Amino acid sequence: MQINDIQAGNMQAGEAGRAPSARPAARPIISIRDLRKMYGSFCALSGINLDVAEGEVVVLLGPSGSGKSTLIRCINLLETYDSGTVTVDDVAVRPGPNLAAVRSEVGMVFQSFNLFPHMTVLRNVALAPIRVRKLAPKAAEERAMELLTRVGIAEQAGKFPGQLSGGQQQRVAIARALAMEPKILLFDEPTSALDPEMVGEVLDVMQALARTGVTMVVVTHEMGFARRVADRVIFMERGQIVEEAKPEAFFSAPKEERARAFLQAVLNH
């Protein structure tokens, strides 16, 4: 039903797009079908199909320009696409009055943190629950403090983002995403803008998160993280999924020639 709606260009208000069907056991919480996107004549995504199961940690690998970030940004529609469908928890992600509600279930951590510079760290984390979930400010701030404690920066709660290191900022950004209690967390190269000595602290937080059973889709160049934490590794190139495998299998014996070449390049530098 959602597929037909999208193909008809239907963006009518008021339709939740929620399928009434019963849920299968390991149902996909993210479902991407035949996703295509062109940037002019450059094909960013050429017919991506991908299901992510509830609680699964999927790591997207691939050379730059392969479409990983574009794909992950299509999941919460920060990026528009030309055709195909994205479904999150049985709800079609598409423009319209329901978009904000769908997005509030999908947390996102950006390469450049994108914290709100004019607000304290505490306010950064508490704002969305107050505005979107209608939490009382006091309750939201208590929860924000718990989350900041969890990512190890409770003592910075009163500071402004500009006063923190990159690694601390990214941990605040993770706490901010968690504050909405999202069903899914998207990480778009979360450590690429960090100084090398701060990569570890962010990856540690992400690894701890993965153990809590939250669904995660991670675009990263951290091969060690992918190997340790991923349930499934997806290798992309030129807008296509070239190989999908368990991390052990992928890193020890990639099937595709292009994946082999990529691993050779990133692991032997």
| Interacting residue ranges for another protein, rule: CB under 8 A | 76-78, 100-108, 110, 112-118, 127-128, 131-132, 162, 176-177, 180, 186
Shortest Cβ 86–another protein spacing (Å): 14
Shortest Cβ 186–another protein spacing (Å): 8
| Distances from the Cα of 199 to the Cα of 55, 56, 129, 174, angstroms | 24, 23, 28, 14
Residues 101, 106, 111, 116, Cα dihedral to 10°: 40
Shortest Cβ 188–another protein spacing (Å): 10
Shortest Cβ 199–another protein spacing (Å): 20
**What three-state secondary structure class fits 42?**
strand
Backbone φ, ψ for residue 28 (5° rounding): -75, 135
Cβ distance to another protein smaller for residue 50 or 172: 172
Backbone φ, ψ for residue 85 (5° rounding): -135, 150
Shortest Cβ 230–another protein spacing (Å): 22
Shortest Cβ 95–another protein spacing (Å): 11
């939490």: which residue's tokens? 135
Cβ distance to another protein smaller for residue 188 or 243: 188
Tokens of 74: 């299509």
Cβ distance to another protein smaller for residue 115 or 205: 115
| Distances from the Cα of 122 to the Cα of 19, 131, 181, 232, angstroms | 37, 14, 16, 34
Cβ distance to another protein smaller for residue 22 or 100: 100
**What three-state secondary structure class fits 170?**
helix
Rounded to 5 degrees, what angle do the CA atoms 140, 142, 148 make? 100
**What three-state secondary structure class fits 149?**
helix
Cβ distance to another protein smaller for residue 118 or 138: 118
Cβ distance to another protein smaller for residue 78 or 145: 78
Cβ distance to another protein smaller for residue 138 or 255: 138
Shortest Cβ 202–another protein spacing (Å): 17
Inter-residue contact 210 to 133 (CB < 8 Å):
no
Burial of 45 (0-12, 13-18, 19+ CB in 10 A): buried
